[in-house]
Amino acid sequence: MEEAIYTAPEDGVYGLLDSTPQGLRYDEAARRLDEHGRNVLEKKRGTPLWRKFVYNFTHFFAIMLWVAAVLSFVAAMPELGIACIAVIVINAIFTFWQEFKAERAIESLEKILPRKVRVVRDGEEQEIEADDLVPGDLMVLEAGNSISADARLIQVAEMRVNNSALTGESEPQSRRSEALSIEKAALADLSNLVFAGTNVASGSGQAVVYSTGMNTEIGKIAGLTQEVKEEPSPLQKEMGKITKILAVIATGLGVMFFLLGAFVIPQAPDTSRWTAATMFGIGILVANVPEGLLPTVTLSLAMATQRMVKRHALIKKLSSVETLGCTTVICTDKTGTLTTNEMTVREVWVAGRDIQIGGVGYAPVGDFSIDGKPLSEEDATSMLKLLRIAAFCNNSKLMPPQEAEEQWRILGDPTEAALLVTAQKFKYDYETELRIFPRRYELPFDSRRKRMTTTHKLQEGVEALVKGAPMEVLGLCTKIWEPGGVRDITDEDRKLVSGMNDGYATQALRVLGFAYRELEQEQKHYEIDDLEKDLTFVGLAAMMDPPRPEVERAVQECRSAGIRVIMITGDYGVTAESIARRIGLVQGKQVRVVTGPDIEQMSDEDLTAALEEPEVIFARVAPEHKMRIAIMLKSKGEIVAMTGDGVNDAPALKAADIGVAMGIAGTDVAKDAAEMILTDDNFASIVNAIEEGRAVYDNIKRFVTYILASNIPEVFPFLLYVLLRVPLPLTVMQILAVDLGTDLIPALALGTEAPEPGIMNRPPRSQKERLLSWKLLGRAYGFLGPIEGICSLAAFFFVYWLAGWRPEMGVSAMTNVPAFAAVYVMATTACHHTIVTTQIGNGFACRTERESIFKVGFFTNTFYLWGILSELVILIIFLYVPPFPNFFGFEPLSIQVWLFMFAMIPFPLVADEIRKYFVRRHVAKKAEVSVEKEALEEAA
């Protein structure tokens, strides 16, 4: 079958695949979809759910707890062993549930941007989901499209495809539609076939599908391509380091307290020294293992991803979220990203007349005038001459409003669509004329030539119509058109055209030039140099793509956040600078504009020097220049986010740390190469995503601070027991009660915290900065933890104080209070419960790093409020519901003790609020000094 496909003539392909030049009928396409199935590759079976579940019982932290449980049973302490296993089970179930939800969320997000393909069905060109392609469908292919099925070409126009996914050839390969006479050939030699998984590098064409899904060439090797393993992200590597550090801390403390129990702490005569020592060691080890760290990381990333979707940024991989938070440079396109991408032709210059055009957007409504006066008959003739070229040399389509939509839509390039809108405003019926004078050949737009040419059959001869960058088109012209006829073009004409072009460009208008050439004979193939010469110049069209209203604020946010924004555009320097000034991207008088030809002449050192300029814009650049800029920025240690939408942008997107593709205007190839897709093509959405990326890192630090702080009040009682011979204020089982349930949900809730106010007013985080820094350890172990420890021990002594003991009596008298056994159990219960209540205040303190919780609001994280409720409910269950009181050694408390415990809640919060106040003052003072210094330097 395949051999017949490529050896058959163009008109014989339809019969071979039971199709027609009008495409399949709708009912036939539906029947074939049932017969052949959807056009999808069967995904490699992922890790089974049961295996993922089992992994949560066998990772590093879990193994440490299993060892502790086994040692507990060996040492005849079944309660401790059961508690250790309970910690493992509860955290394993929670971790598995979070990972399961995150995975399902990513799968649902991928459906937001389904693959699309243009086909002809029942004689109408339409856009359908690529999954619905069937054998016999007639595909319409253009530069930038990913090819979604194996197909035979039946029409091509200078078409080249990138087959690297199948053949490994890096250079795009030419395609043809003629039959091949060879009987057997390698894929690379089948020049009239296109294959799923490849993409159109340039040109256009039509092809009839013959294989879909797993029957395609790439489907046959899908199993092999899915074996590629991904490198761990920076966050994953950092988590590996943290796991090891915390394991060392936990093991070290466990061993230290085991030795204290064995050789220092005096034991009662009926208690085994080694049993007690083992209990101490295991208890401290378990207390210091942050079992909830892994589910918190997953939850934090998943929540940030969900928030990003609401802010129009789709993350393809969870681990990319945190990398965004490190971004130091954003390299952004202008058109569609900084601007609205709704091009509107505002002025046309033809035959020496400057015609103004009204209306905005894609609705074909607007008037034509010259200095407020209607067009004369001669002006209308001139306008019609230019619009004919604009509409004929055009691959876009206008889509009228549907019932559920009130706006016109476009299919294709916005610049070309703006020209069609202008033609319809002028009531020019170009569709009818195109049927009379059909297109015969096309030289598609090329980023190097910067122009497009089509040929059309006339009643006598052939006409070539050209549109493109004004100066490139003008350079190919030898004549100029006027209503009175055609004459030779003069130097004065060239200066006039060049002046008009510059005048439009300084107003941030995008300008296209139009020309034509009459040919005597039609050819089946044209060479570029033979066709695009001796042209007759007609005129210019100037259009505007206004800046998005929210971009100016987003640029200011980047400046405050220490993120540099560099505009990289294919437009002229004057246009780029005009837009840059409008949005506040550049403000100084001296702005360096570097063009694509400049970059080609620069050494790496010269380009690095240009990038170090305080205000620089890159204009008239080619995609390969973007890639080089990204590489040079990365070599300087910058974390680069690069936007792109075209096929040739893919290398630059891959070269950057974070590739950002446009969801609306972006090609399939660009989306595949990117880590993030903007569903609204808006620059402000990148800034929002960076804010969320920073929040992820902060949230993991919040969790770690919260958990580590609670370890100190769990250790303090043992130190007091050793140093002052105080009755042990907290038992090992009570330590486990903290980790077993009361701390879990509030700690996880901190991983869902929204970005802190002012998070974009600080510089990007250095990649050298460790998550478990001395600053974090100091806050947890040296500040919040000791406060909790003092409060919990105060509760312990308060119970004894109520029982009649006074400090001046000495610690030895504590064992002599009436009903010592009951008082001791109540005192340890109060110590444990106060750790839990002070953790409530600690949690509110950890919700922000610098900003006051009173400004952020106590009720803005509802998950944390539910966490507090769950904490208190579990506390009551442990205290009053059998068998938990006996299991953990708890005793009901009096109302005075409950009031005392709840009075301890504000202490960590108030203390940290005072610390944050001085931190904010210090930061503000540094900022003032920095501003004064900059002002003095500028004045000097």
DSSP 370: B
For the beta sheet containing 640-644, the strands, ordered from the edge strand earlier in sequence to the opposite edge, are: 313-315, 676-678, 658-662, 640-644, 329-332, 564-567
What residues does 547 pair with on adjacent strands?
A: 339
Q: Is the peptide bond between 883 and the residue preceding it cis, with omega within 30 degrees of 0?
A: yes
How far lies 303's CA from each of 173, 299, 701, 772, in Å? 44, 6, 16, 22
Is residue 600 within 8 A of residue 618, CB to CB? The reply is no
At 295, which helix (H) or strand (E)?
helix 293-310
Q: Enumerate residues 6+ apart whose C-beta is below 8 A from 624.
A: 648, 651
Q: Enumerate residues 6+ apart whose C-beta is below 8 A from 786.
A: 712, 716
Cα 423 to chain centroid, rounded: 39
Within 662-682, residue ranges assigned H as helices are 668-673
At 103, which helix (H) or strand (E)?
helix 78-110
Match 């590489």 to its residue by tokens: 631
What does DSSP say about strands 462-468 and 477-482: parallel, antiparallel, or unpaired? unpaired
Measure the CA–CA gap between 595 and 573, rounded to whole angstroms. Answer: 7
What does DSSP say about strands 592-595 and 616-619: parallel, antiparallel, or unpaired? parallel
Please name the amino acid found at residue 597: P
Q: Which of 137, 150, 333, 413 is catalytic?
A: 333
Q: What are the tokens at 381?
A: 């003739």
Is residue 47 within 8 A of residue 96, CB to CB? The reply is no
Q: Enumerate residues 6+ apart whose C-beta is below 8 A from 620.
A: 569, 570, 571, 572, 573, 595, 596, 597
Match 């046959």 to its residue by tokens: 220
Please name the amino acid found at residue 878: F
Within 37-74, residue ranges assigned H as helices are 49-55, 60-74
In this structure, is the dihedral angle defined by the CA atoms of residues 243, 245, 251 and 253, taken in order, positive or negative?
negative
SS3 710: helix
Closest-CA residue to 750 (of 675, 698, 804): 698
Q: What are the tokens at 267?
A: 């034991």
Measure the CA–CA gap between 769 and 779, rounded to whole angstroms. Answer: 16
Among left, alpha and beta (phi > 0; psi -120 to 50; other), residue 136 is: left
Measure the CA–CA gap between 75 and 66, rounded to whole angstroms. Answer: 14
Is residue 348 within 8 A of residue 716, CB to CB? The reply is no
For the chain, how big is the Rg over CA atoms in Å?
36
333 catalytically annotated: yes
Within 594-682, residue ranges assigned H as helices are 596-601, 604-611, 623-635, 650-655, 668-673
Is residue 835 within 8 A of residue 714, CB to CB? The reply is yes
DSSP 784: I
Residues in the chain: 940
How is 169-201 classified by DSSP, letter by letter?
--S-EE---SPP--SS--GGG-TTEE-TT-EEE
Q: Which residue numbers are catalytic?
A: 333
